[in-house]
Amino acid sequence: MTETGNDHSRQTRRSRRAFLSAIAAVGLIWWGWPRVAPLFVGSFDFEEMTSPPGFRRLVAGDQSELPNPFIGLGTPDRVDLTADVERARVGMCAALFGGVPGADVVPIAAFSDYNCPYCRVLTEILIDIAARSEGRVRITWHEWPLLGPTSVVAARAALAADLQGAYETFHKRLMRTRFLPTEAFLARTAEDIGADPDRLITDMAGPDVAARLRNTAALARIFGFRGTPALVVGRTVVIGAVSEPTLRALIDQERRDGPPPVCKA
């Protein structure tokens, strides 16, 4: 082999090593950043809440708001959530988190709207956190459609998908798609993810979906939410958009503090 050929071969090996080193560095950053990022978050400035008792508030970032929180339930003069609010107060752990979380599990209740841009970003963060947590973070999704009729239709469709065990897949599809939730679109989406489209369309107007929407509206009233996104991370109510490092640091804090009082036996 000529000297020129040897130089070319050495340069090729160096380029390959540099490329592999870059890939390894990216992989290390991807793996390590979620574990390191919370270390850069300072102490939290919590505001203790008197109602409901046992919770504290953390005001974070922006929200999408609408003056009328009764969209999807009827006109304000026809909405009576008294019984729903009382039921949620008595069984707060179940209403918020779907039941008592397991040992060392941090429960998160996420309130979102499919037309809320901040919710789209936060959904991806939450899904990633839960996937990396090895079962130590449990998310309960609450559909709170504030931003018009398309939000209501999408929320009802997602809850109907949940009746077939397909909520998370359907939820991610809607959050990642710009859509007009026509019946044809929803049926096609249901079929794409392996759900029964006819049942989904029927269940959207059924009592189970209506009860879920009322439960979420009752919780939003109890906590005084005005817009989405909103989170309840253990005992901490988070108002507005929140960064991934802050959310991870908060989860670590909640794990140190133990289960939320409303979920203690």
- Which residue from 193, 192, 232, 186 is spatially nearest to 209, judged by alpha carbons? 186
- Which residue from 228, 227, 215, 124 is spatially nearest to 176, judged by alpha carbons? 124
- Which residue from 73, 143, 77, 74 is spatially nearest to 115, judged by alpha carbons? 143
How confident is the model at residue 76, as a pLDDT? 42
Q: How confident is the model at residue 250 (pLDDT cuts 50, 70, 90)?
A: very high
Mean pLDDT for the stretch of residues 174-195: 91
| 15 pLDDT above the threshold of 70 | no
**Contacts of residue 228, Cβ cutoff 8 Å, sequence gap at least 6:** 63, 64, 111, 112, 113, 116, 118, 119, 144, 146, 147
Q: How confident is the model at residue 264 (pLDDT cuts 50, 70, 90)?
A: confident
Which residues are paired to 232 by β-bridges? 109, 237
- Percentage of residues in the chain having pLDDT higher than 90: 70
Mean pLDDT for the stretch of residues 204-215: 97
| 23 pLDDT above the threshold of 50 | yes
Burial class (CB in 10 A: 0-12, 13-18, 19+), 70: middle
| 30 pLDDT above the threshold of 80 | no
The mean of the pLDDT values for the chain is: 85
| 24 pLDDT above the threshold of 60 | no
Q: How confident is the model at residue 251 (pLDDT cuts 50, 70, 90)?
A: very high
C-alpha–C-alpha distance, residues 186 and 250, integer Å? 36
Mean pLDDT for the stretch of residues 119-130: 95
Mean pLDDT for the stretch of residues 89-96: 97
How confident is the model at residue 19, as a pLDDT? 52
Mean pLDDT for the stretch of residues 185-204: 96
